[in-house]
């Protein structure tokens, strides 16, 4: 359900990414996604703080280096959850088909200008 690097749990590999990224939204809530995003922000702030301290120590010793802190995932877990929920919601087929035909006649291309779930909206 989660991905922190290659694995989530005791044996996780933090070389890929230190953040928790939800891969399967079927068994998770929006509230849990927000909690994971908050945890990811704390990890990011911690890494930035450590990087600044390391740069300061190195500067005092006369050395210089560039240390890149992995950026937070964009879109975050909550945004991806909301998009997943919209893509997987049940819709009435006939009104959605009518909306897609209408948009096609107006020159819009499905999956280029809009997704099927957006047609009715």
Residue 107 shares a structural domain with residue 53: no
Residue 16 shares a structural domain with residue 70: yes
How many domains are there within the chain?
2
Element (H, E) at 32: helix 30-60
Residue 34 shares a structural domain with residue 83: yes
Per-residue pLDDT band at 61 (split at 50, 70, 90): confident
Of residues 109 and 11, which shows the higher confidence score? Answer: 109
Residue 49 shares a structural domain with residue 17: yes
Residue 99 shares a structural domain with residue 58: no
Domain of residue 26 covers: 2-89
Q: Quick one: residue 104, left, alpha or beta (phi over 0 = left, psi -120 to 50 = alpha)?
A: alpha
Residue 33 shares a structural domain with residue 80: yes
Residue 45 shares a structural domain with residue 97: no
CB neighbour class for 3 (10 Å; exposed up to 12, middle 13-18, buried from 19): middle
Residue 81 shares a structural domain with residue 56: yes
Which pLDDT does position 16 carry in this prediction?
60
What is this structure's pTM? Answer: 0.73
Report the percentage of the chain scoring pLDDT > 70: 87
Residue 101 shares a structural domain with residue 78: no
Which pLDDT does position 14 carry in this prediction?
46
């Amino acid at each position: 359900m989660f991905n922190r690097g290659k694995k989530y749990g005791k044996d996780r590999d933090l070389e890929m990414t230190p953040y928790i990224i939800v891969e399967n939204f079927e068994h998770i809530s929006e509230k849990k996604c927000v909690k994971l995003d908050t945890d990811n922000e704390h990890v990011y702030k911690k890494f930035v703080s450590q990087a600044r301290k390391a740069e300061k120590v190195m500067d005092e010793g006369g050395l210089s280096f560039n240390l890149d802190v992995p950026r937070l995932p964009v879109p975050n877990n909550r945004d991806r959850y909301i998009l997943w929920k919209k893509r997987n919601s049940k819709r009435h087929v006939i009104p959605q088909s009518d909306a897609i035909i209408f948009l096609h006649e107006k020159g819009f291309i499905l999956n280029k200008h809009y997704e099927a779930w957006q047609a009715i909206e």
